[in-house]
DNA sequence: TCTGGGGTCCTAGGACCC
DNA sequence: TCTGGGGTCCTAGGACCC
């Protein structure tokens, strides 16, 4: 990301190793910008790097996917794929519908049922008919299939939720072990929230049974929190709504959403208690940061 | 196909209030 | 007292993304 931001501050990270750049303000030709950037990353990071260049994020992303997929040998892809302005729809048309953002395995099947295989076929369908067959998503897909995407490159986006889950190597049906896992997940989520200086108002748990069916249960708190104990207590209540002795669990997850920044509202009579909790939590965080997670353990 | 983890967005039903 | 509509929040599940 450092290398990217040297080029422009308009960098939107997409994942750990992908990002959108808006280089429309730079005076150089895009071909040149792309080639230089690739060379810098190859040289400085000793890593391959593929780029897609287009007039919008949707087409740039797909162009990059296409470029990378055309590598025949076992080499790591190090490609540059450019779609000139005005060529967006033509570039997308022959690609399989699945290449479009928002088309996964299920949507691919639904589209196939009405005879649509390619992005071009989506673009050619009357939008309203598409909506009749596949719902509101049809409107969005119709636009995307034509290469239309007006979303700007945004340098920051709000985090909407924080969660942590774990799949057990073996199904677990021992209450004590499950609660210990739930406690640990709650602490991870709490720490993550505190690191971001955020509070959340809705606690959600995720349970997966050995047959792979997965359920979620959530509960909204009267006030936002980022305290381990509060998250855990809520998660535990939710857990007991679905779990009974002996029931085996494959996966356990804890998440918090409804996030807000800053300090939570406190009622007056909570203040003293609150301060104690706060300082205890901060002390625990510091101890764990210095000596590791296991330095302080709670009895579930 | 036998399935990891952390996210976002959409839909749909129900409760509640005006 | 009955009826209806609309808005909002909460909950649950599912599709999709990297």
C1' of nucleotide C18: residue with nearest CA: A15
Hey, which residues of A are catalytic here? Answer: 18
Q: Give residues with Cβ within 8 angstroms of A193, minimum separation 6.
A: A162, A199, A200, A226, A256, A259
Determine the pLDDT at residue A76.
81
Phi-psi region of A212 (alpha: psi -120 to 50; beta: other; left: phi over 0): left
Determine the pLDDT at residue A1.
82
Q: Name the strand (E) or helix (H) holding A151.
A: none
Distance of alpha carbon A42 from alpha carbon A44, whole angstroms = 6
β-bridge pairing A80-82 and A51-53: parallel
Determine the pLDDT at residue A16.
83
pTM: 0.84
Give how far Cα A290 sits from Cα of A196, A286, A294, Å: 19, 6, 11
Q: Is the CB of A163 under 7 A from strand C?
A: no
Q: Is the CB of A276 under 7 A from strand C?
A: no
User: CA–C1' span, A208 to C13, in Å?
Assistant: 13
Determine the pLDDT at residue A280.
67
Determine the pLDDT at residue A90.
98
Q: Give residues with Cβ within 8 angstroms of A287, minimum separation 6.
A: A295, A296
Decide: A171 and A249 in contact? Cβ < 8 Å: yes
Helices A127-134 + A137-145 axis angle, to 10: 140
Q: pLDDT (tens digit, 9 = 90+) per residue, A212-223?
A: 999 999 999 999
β-bridge pairing A161-172 and A249-261: antiparallel
Chain C positions with any atom < 7 A from a protein CB: 9-18
Decide: A52 and A63 in contact? Cβ < 8 Å: yes
Nearest nt (C1') from A165 Cα = B5
Determine the pLDDT at residue A258.
95
Collect the ranges in chain A with pLDDT lower than 50.
none
């Amino acid at each position: 990301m450092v290398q990217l931001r040297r080029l422009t501050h308009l960098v939107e990270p997409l994942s750990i190793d992908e990002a959108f750049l808006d280089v429309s303000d730079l005076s150089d030709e895009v071909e040149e910008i792309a080639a230089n950037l690739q060379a810098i990353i190859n040289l400085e990071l000793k890593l391959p790097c593929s780029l897609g260049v287009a007039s919008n994020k949707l087409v740039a992303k797909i162009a990059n996917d296409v470029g990378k997929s055309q590598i025949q040998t076992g080499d790591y892809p190090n490609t540059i794929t450019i779609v000139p302005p005005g060529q967006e729809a033509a570039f997308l048309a022959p690609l399989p519908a699945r290449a479009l953002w928002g088309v996964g395995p299920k949507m691919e099947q639904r589209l196939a049922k009405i005879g649509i295989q390619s992005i071009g076929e989506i673009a050619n369908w009357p939008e309203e008919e598409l909506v009749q067959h596949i719902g509101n998503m049809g409107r969005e897909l119709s636009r995307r299939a034509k290469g239309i995407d007006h979303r700007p490159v945004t340098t920051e986006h709000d985090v909407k939720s924080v969660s942590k889950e774990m799949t057990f190597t073996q199904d677990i049906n021992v209450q004590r072990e499950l609660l210990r896992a739930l406690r640990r997940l709650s602490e991870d989520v709490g720490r993550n929230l505190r690191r971001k200086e955020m509070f959340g108002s809705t606690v959600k748990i995720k349970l997966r049974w050995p047959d792979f069916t997965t359920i979620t249960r959530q509960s909204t708190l009267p006030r936002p929190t980022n305290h381990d104990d509060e998250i855990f207590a809520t998660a535990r209540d939710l857990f007991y709504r679905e779990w009974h002795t002996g029931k085996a669990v494959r996966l356990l997850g804890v998440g918090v959403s409804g996030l807000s920044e800053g300090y939570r509202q406190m009622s007056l009579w909570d203040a003293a208690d609150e301060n104690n909790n706060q300082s205890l939590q901060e002390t625990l965080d510091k101890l764990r940061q210095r000596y590791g997670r296991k330095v302080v353990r709670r009895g579930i």
